[in-house]
Structure 1
Amino acid sequence: MTTGIVIVVHAPLGAAMRECASHVMGNLDGMLAIHDIQPEDRPDDLAPDVLKDILEQEHGAGVLVLTDLIGATPANIAKRAVADAQAQGIQCCVLAGLNTPMLLRALTYRSLPLAETREKALAGGVQGVLRVD
């Protein structure tokens, strides 16, 4: 059992995050689903596609949906899809503020139950934001 991961973000961030994670971790085939949302996309139109990916990524431990900006179109799509998945009995949740450390932590700890994967990803995202100078 592993936690599924679905990314719903402003284009082209999803593809870039996949490339970055692949550079660090190697082949990611089947490990996550990406939705790069375009400016003209509407939540009502794309939430069913995201729901489909949530259902496909559910491997027994739930699904973590990662998005970039809370309140923006990708986050609204993610929230609708997660609500629909939860209504079908799928354990899932959304984290906003996606950054590279958050994604790498989610991928690294996806063998844990959803609640633990979520907390590891959240900690990675927060701890990855530092003043360097």
Structure 2
Amino acid sequence: MVGLVVVTHNQLGNALIDTAEAILGNRPEALVSVSVSSGEDAGKLRGKIARGIRAADRKKGVIIFTDMFGGTPSNLSYSFLKEGRVDVISAVNLPILLKAVNFRNQMNLASLSKCLETYGKKNISLASEILKGKREALCPFDREYQ
């Protein structure tokens, strides 16, 4: 199972995980939130992220989700990038988090990360385009929308 860590400003990660739990009916295993508050020491924040990675790691790799590219959570998380072990996806949203939870047992870290990036981008949607049938499947779990 690929571990998941959500690193966000304030309590956004906790809210996403709580919402995922409400939708799924249970608290997903190996899913951890790390909250970053303004004014916290960068060294202490890196320690919190490292602890989050250790808590989520099930020896199949870890994906760190951050709230926005270029923000403190992302910038700190990039220092943990390690090919084949830790990847970072910026701009987490609820659909991407739910897909990660549901498909992390079926794909390896690299494949899952790439598909989640594509899926996350596709779930920032313009309803009129969806209704016209202009969506294409690029990942195995996209087929449910075809």
TM-score class, shorter-chain normalisation, is 0.7 to 0.9
Match of 2:86 among 82, 92, 100: 92
Partner amino acid, structure 1, of 2:17: R
Which TM-score applies when normalising by structure 2? 0.78
Match of 2:119 among 106, 121, 124: 124
Task: Look up the SS of the partner of 1:61 in the other structure.
Answer: coil
Q: Structure 1: 5+ residue runs without aligned partners?
A: none
Point out which structure has higher relative CO (alpha carbons under 8 A, 6+ apart).
1
In 2, Cα distance between the equivalents of 1:39 and 1:106?
28
Which TM-score applies when normalising by structure 1? 0.85
In 1, Cα distance between the equivalents of 2:15 and 2:114?
23
Q: Structure 2: 5+ residue runs without aligned partners?
A: 129-146
In 1, Cα distance between the equivalents of 2:65 and 2:116?
9
**Of the two, which has the highest radius of gyration?**
2
In 2, Cα distance between the equivalents of 1:16 and 1:107?
15
User: Aligned residue pairs: how many?
Assistant: 127
Identical positions, percent: 24
Task: Look up the SS of the partner of 2:60 in the other structure.
Answer: strand
The one-character-per-residue Cα deviations of 1:38-84 (angstroms, maximum 9, x if unpaired) are 1222332211221122123221210000001111111112112x14x
